[in-house]
Amino acid sequence: MKIEEAREVRTTCPYCGVGCGVLAKVAANGEIAVRGDPDHPANFGRLCSKGSALAETIDLDGRLLYPEIHGRRTDWDEALDLVASTFSRTIAEHGPDAVAFYVSGQLLTEDYYVANKLMKGFVGSANIDTNSRLCMASSVAGHRRAFGSDTVPGSYEDLELGDLIVLVGSNLAWCHPVLYQRIAAAREKRPDMKVVLIDPRRTMTSDIADMHLAIEPDGDVALFTGLLAYLGQHNALDRTYITAHTTGFGQALFAASSLDLAGIAAATGLGEDELARFYSLFAATAKTVTVYSQGVNQSSSGTDKVNAIINCHLATGRIGKPGAGPFSVTGQPNAMGGREVGGLANMLAAHMEIENPEHRDRVQRFWNAPTVAEKPGLKAVEMFQAVADGRIKALWIMATNPVDSMPDADAVEAAIKACPFVVVSDVLAKTDTVRHAHVRLPAAAWGEKDGTVTNSERRILRQRAFLATPGEARADWWIIAEVANRMGFGEAFSHASPADIFAEHAALSAFENDGARDFDIGAYGGIDAEGYDALVPFQWPAPSPGTPLWPAGHLPRKGGDRLSPRPSPISNTARGEPAPKLLISPLAGEMAGRPEGGAQAESEGVQARRASPSTRFFANGNFYTPDGKARFIPIRPVPQTRTNEKFPLVLNTGRVRDHWHTMTRTGKSPRLSQHLAEPFAEIHPADAQHFGIGDADIVRVSTAHGEVLLRALVTARQRPGSVFVPMHWTDQFSARARVDALVAPITDAISGQPASKNVAARVERL
């Protein structure tokens, strides 16, 4: 059979939080072909370099195919019995907080749900945290402070409808390429649209920027508090909105006025004229979207940065409207889904709060659980410190590689090595973390497993299997449920499929939810296998009264007059089957027979739907706070300076275009490695001259925590006084290049997110 004759499966790219739709097919000869899904509401056929190369990264080289105990192949029964008995014994002897799960934004929502249920409801500890802590925890904390809920207010469509797009701490062109392409395409159609880039580095994203503010690292709080003061001084406030829908404006404005323009210029490293131009542009442009990413989140002032941005949008009423709003874009494919099921140590499932006794009681009753953790668990950095000092004696790491990706990575490796019992479930046999595991559990990979993820615009998407599972690999949810079963909790973990788990997760989101909680997908609580297979991408909360999916008798939500979610234009033709009738949008049948086409082949129907209004929150000011009003947060800039005589430069870590995380997948593609073949240290010419460094010299970059050896890349794109090193390369790919070994374990006091972009460092030529 030729490849073209094989049936395509609709699935979702496993890399970034854009959540692009992918059509994958496997020929009879095993050849895999992947292309962008032209009908998908996130990408409309586009894929970036990483997504396009997915087929090149699928092979069995290096796969963990069988369970292992101390490196010895075993069977599932022995491995699972050992994990369950060791966890049970540790809990019995030392209490539930002596065990921990460290999970991942790479897990599917169903995997995450089962892991969280086991730890918080049956073990009775909240010691489950995720590598999403390194990605978007500050946005979660900022949303909850301002809105009373972790709700991203916008949709991708807003990025095309805005007249001003402010990109803060985001190299969108490389890190969320398809969103960048959507903005670039919109700008071509509307040349008056303006883009401002706020980033210490001049990245590829500056190609579409009308203005680049090369801000001092962590200068964002000063920049946006200064903007709030400017808006107040220049009569650019929406006082009607402020009065009707917010509280605390006076205190926030007072706090924001602590610096004058000269003070803000000093704190941001920007000229007063630059500041004035940006402030006046923001003030004059009603349809403004502020997009922010890791430059905001990965900071010891990350939560304040998020709220400083949100304050400016609340003050101008630019939220919940087409083309206007603050917009957090997440790094990981399922950072949002993890949040929805309580994958963070300080949250419960379905966006309920662990500190709230009513929420705990509700979750416990729903799960019929013996207990529910009563206090937040340890956040990622604290968790590995507890492993190091012996408080955690049994650790299960799922789908992530903390030996390479955690701050202070050498200390994390030492902690894992010293931990009495370490379980790792992973796709690969030899990551830097897997090799320290006492028990290795082979997990199913992308393309082999079924489930859902949620992208940055709150859209729930299906990942679908199109490959057979190799060896004895199993889905993560199955592995966790089997361990739960062996720990004596079998009845609550008798899920037969991801569809079962999704249905339970959806039902919990609606359980005693009178509209006071934002996350509600209760209409999917009765979903069956057929409906799950046919699930079309949809944004939560979903759906609203009056749509065919709204269950009879469901209480109207608070603020029920918000705009309704728009049904997705996509239907499922997974495995070439016609779309079943249950629980899919009315559009599904209409779209099922559509001819295939590329990004340029959008039908009029798709184009019309792209232009239609999408789900937005807060249009009428109903926030998830007790009084329904959003909260201004008073914020004063606090200097985050860490450099000193010994370490005079600021180390900034981040991504490159064609690699992902610790390269366990992208490192398999020679094509992806052609873009940037080796790790590097980007340094400004003035600093290079000062330190006697020439372009392409081998340099040592060191901090108080460690050192790496890299090739110098001397470029004026870099801000003087700083050095940029990519995060991806590990010792497997390049000797002594684990940059996270250099990153100090300093975190934001509220969110617990590490400050991975402001580390005191020095650079020397070897």
Binding site for ligand SF4 (CB under 6 A): 13, 15-16, 18-20, 43, 47-48, 50-51, 176-178
40 vs 379, beta carbon nearer ligand SF4 = 40
Q: How far is CA 144 from the centre of its chain?
A: 16
289 vs 373, beta carbon nearer ligand SF4 = 289
The nearest distance, CB 457 to ligand SF4, in angstroms, is 12
126 vs 335, beta carbon nearer ligand SF4 = 335
Of 325, 315, 322, 313, whose CA–CA distance to 289 is shortest?
325
Contacts of 362 (CB under 8 A, 6+ apart): 352, 511, 512
Alpha helices in 493-562 (DSSP H): 498-510, 529-533
Find the Cα–Cα–Cα–Cα dihedral 154, 177, 43, 47, rounded to 10°.
-160
Of 712, 729, 719, 718, whose CA–CA distance to 763 is shortest?
712
Q: How far is residue 176's CA from residue 717's CA, in Å, rounded to a whole number?
A: 20
127 vs 666, beta carbon nearer ligand SF4 = 666
The nearest distance, CB 102 to ligand SF4, in angstroms, is 24
The nearest distance, CB 664 to ligand SF4, in angstroms, is 15
The CB-nearest residue to ligand SF4 is 51
120 vs 176, beta carbon nearer ligand SF4 = 176
The nearest distance, CB 528 to ligand SF4, in angstroms, is 28
Q: How far is residue 528's CA from residue 422's CA, in Å, rounded to a whole number?
A: 36
20 vs 348, beta carbon nearer ligand SF4 = 20
The nearest distance, CB 460 to ligand SF4, in angstroms, is 15
Q: How far is residue 399's CA from residue 662's CA, in Å, rounded to a whole number?
A: 12
- Residue 572: both structure tokens together: 């499922």
The nearest distance, CB 142 to ligand SF4, in angstroms, is 23
The nearest distance, CB 47 to ligand SF4, in angstroms, is 4
Q: How far is residue 80's CA from residue 74's CA, in Å, rounded to a whole number?
A: 10
Contacts of 457 (CB under 8 A, 6+ apart): 42, 152, 154, 155, 156, 539
Neighbours of 286 (CB within 10 A): 16
225 vs 662, beta carbon nearer ligand SF4 = 662
Torsion sign across C-alpha atoms 444, 446, 451, 455: positive
Identify the residue whose tokens are 């998407």.
461
178 vs 196, beta carbon nearer ligand SF4 = 178
The nearest distance, CB 54 to ligand SF4, in angstroms, is 8
The nearest distance, CB 22 to ligand SF4, in angstroms, is 7
The nearest distance, CB 452 to ligand SF4, in angstroms, is 15
Q: How far is residue 378's CA from residue 346's CA, in Å, rounded to a whole number?
A: 8
Own/partner long-range contacts of 257-265 (Cβ < 8 Å, ≥24 apart): 257/229, 257/232, 258/225, 258/636, 258/637, 259/222, 259/225, 259/226, 259/229, 259/637, 261/226, 263/222, 264/222, 264/223, 264/225, 264/226
Q: How far is residue 455's CA from residue 537's CA, in Å, rounded to a whole number?
A: 10
Of 150, 250, 177, whose CA–CA distance to 19 is shortest?
177
45 vs 442, beta carbon nearer ligand SF4 = 45
Question: Is residue 557 classed as helix, strand or coil in its secondary structure?
Answer: coil
DSSP, residue by residue, 421-476:
EEEEEESBS--TTGGG-SEEEEBP-TTT--EEEE-TTSEEEEE---SPPPTT-B-H
Identify the residue whose tokens are 């539930």.
96
Q: Where are the strands (E) in 579-634, listed by range? A: 630-631
Cβ(10)–Cβ(33) below 8 Å = no
The nearest distance, CB 156 to ligand SF4, in angstroms, is 11
58 vs 683, beta carbon nearer ligand SF4 = 58
16 vs 98, beta carbon nearer ligand SF4 = 16
Alpha helices in 498-618 (DSSP H): 498-510, 529-533, 587-592, 604-611
17 vs 541, beta carbon nearer ligand SF4 = 17
20 vs 409, beta carbon nearer ligand SF4 = 20
